[in-house]
Amino acid sequence: MITVGYKTADAANSRGPSPIIWANCPIVSYQKDPSRGFHLFDDFKNSMIPTEEAARGAYTGGIANILGDINWYGYTESALVGDIALQADDDGVLMLDQDGSDDDVASITTGNNVQGIFKTGAVKSSKKWWFEVRAKLSTITTGDLGTFIGLAAPGQAKDDYLMTAASALQDIDYIGFHIDEADGDAFDVVYNEAGAGTAVAVTGKIAVSAADAYFRLGMSYDPNDNKVHCYLDGVEVYSYSTDSIHFPTSTDFDAYINISSGSGGENGDNLKIDWVKLAVEY
């Protein structure tokens, strides 16, 4: 196995991937032999967003295609091009914005939002997987913005598909991190198997220290200990077994990043994504 060598743990404000997550990921092996697994990284430097709207001011049907190192399906309820937009930033940044109307949604997902052209395979399996995102929220005031960052069943990137009113998560298969309107400055660790009963939300583990400040959220799974490990800024903050009856077992997953404006939100509340990195063992 050829692994990528990372240095010791980065400072909390580091722009780079977290060593604790990626040091044991055999990225070079996957590049040499794609039958062993895959690795994807997108920092939105090599991206573009075409639009068919003649005036170039709206996405047809609210659907955006973000083309780059990872090809994303985007959806914005307002359909305005400013609500899913690449930023004038040397580091490469994609912004998800909304218009301030309660429950206005913007989201991106890998795949085509039908069946998912990119999938991790079953999240609970005999194979390892890794996931990390660097992003920042323009506001962490309670009531302003609901957010989901993680993995979910394909086909959920639309209004009321992943998050409903008050930014509550739907009864679909998902695993990741969630901010609801009741606590704007903290992500819950969440997972759910559709139809299995009450979803799991572990609170008090991941606090967002400040608005407009970057954070890194990550997860990794190792079948050797049968746990999902959760990380904030390169430090493990929580882990849990996948043996829960509420943990999804049977659905392929796409990466999802989603925002929904809250009852107190204003036009311009947004999530800015610096990069997304993921890998899966075959």
pLDDT digits (tens, 9 = 90+) for 39-74: 999 999 999 998 876 667 889 889 999 999 999 999
The domains located in the chain, with CATH, are: 42-281 (2.60.120.200)
pLDDT tens per residue across span 195-238: 998 999 999 999 998 999 999 999 999 999 999 999 999 999 99
Write the CB contacts of 241 (distance below 8 Å, at least 6 apart in sequence): 226, 227
Reading the block at residue 188, the tokens are 């819950």
What pLDDT, in 10s, does the model give residues 151-163? 999 989 887 789 8
Q: Could you give the percent of the chain with pLDDT greater than 70?
A: 94
pLDDT value at 6 more than 80: no
Mean pLDDT (the chain, rounded):
89
pLDDT at position 103 is 83
